[in-house]
Amino acid sequence: MNHNDDPQIPPDWSYNPSAWNQRIPIIVLALGGMGIATYLTLYQLRVLSSVWEPFFGDGSEKILNSSVSRLLPIPDAALGAISYLVDVVSGIVGGTGRWRTMPWIVIVFGLAVGPLGVVSIVLVILQPVLFDAWCTLCLSSAVISLWMIGPAMDEMLASLQYMKRVKKANKSVWKAFWGNEKAISQVH
């Protein structure tokens, strides 16, 4: 499929990172992650009395009832579910030219994906080191959060490059960041 005639393609790019075929897979991943995290939250809140664990015996129970999981006022899985929700929403908002018309949402999206990945990996490391256990669904959630990083970063790069062109043209980066229409019309 050739998209080269798409006016939304950033300069010197081979595709448009804000196109729906680029964004929908990430949104689907984030929805999946949100589903898993919500399920784990329900267990941590004792709405569900047991948790699915096909491989590691009582591993999931150990991890989900661990001291680390209760460090914050809300269960750690709830925090994950909220982060995934931010990813879903910031993945959906905006049209197919949003790398240029709404850089702020693209940056929110990129920044939401990053820390989620970092926290997931820290939790994966803590599982065997502190608790000598693994939790299948926690690992699955970590994989999903890593899976979103690559696909989300291209859009962020396109927005950053755009704001750099705005700066080079001596226009207001601030206005461009918030998607000011006049600012958008001045720099491609």
Partner 1 sequence: MWAQIINVILGLWLMVAPSVLSYDQTGSNNAHIIGPLVVTFAFVACWEITRPVRKVNFLSGAWLLAAPWLLGYSETLPILNDMVVGALVIGFAWVEGKITTSFGGGWKSLWT
22 interacts with partner 1 by CB under 8 A? no
Of 8, 81, 154, 176, the one binding partner 1 (CB under 8 A) is 154
96 interacts with partner 1 by CB under 8 A? no
Cβ density class 111-143: b for 16+ within 10 Å, e for less:
ebbbebbebbeebbeebeeebebbbbbbbebbe
54 interacts with partner 1 by CB under 8 A? no
Whose CA is closest to 154, among 25, 7, 1? 25
Whose CA is closest to 172, among 180, 114, 39? 180
CA distances, 129 to each of 63, 126, 134, 183 (Å): 11, 5, 10, 51
Of 40, 124, 138, 184, the one binding partner 1 (CB under 8 A) is 124
Closest separation in Å from C-beta 18 to partner 1: 13
3-state secondary structure of 115: helix
Asked if residues 22 and 155 have their Cβ atoms less than 8 Å apart, the reply is yes
Of 31, 89, 92, 160, the one binding partner 1 (CB under 8 A) is 160
91 interacts with partner 1 by CB under 8 A? no
56 interacts with partner 1 by CB under 8 A? no
Of 27, 107, 153, 173, the one binding partner 1 (CB under 8 A) is 153
Which is closer to partner 1, CB of 167 or CB of 182? 167
Query: Which residues of this protein are in contact with partner 1, per CB under 8 A?
Result: 10-15, 117, 121, 124-125, 128-129, 146-147, 149-151, 153-154, 157-158, 160-161, 164
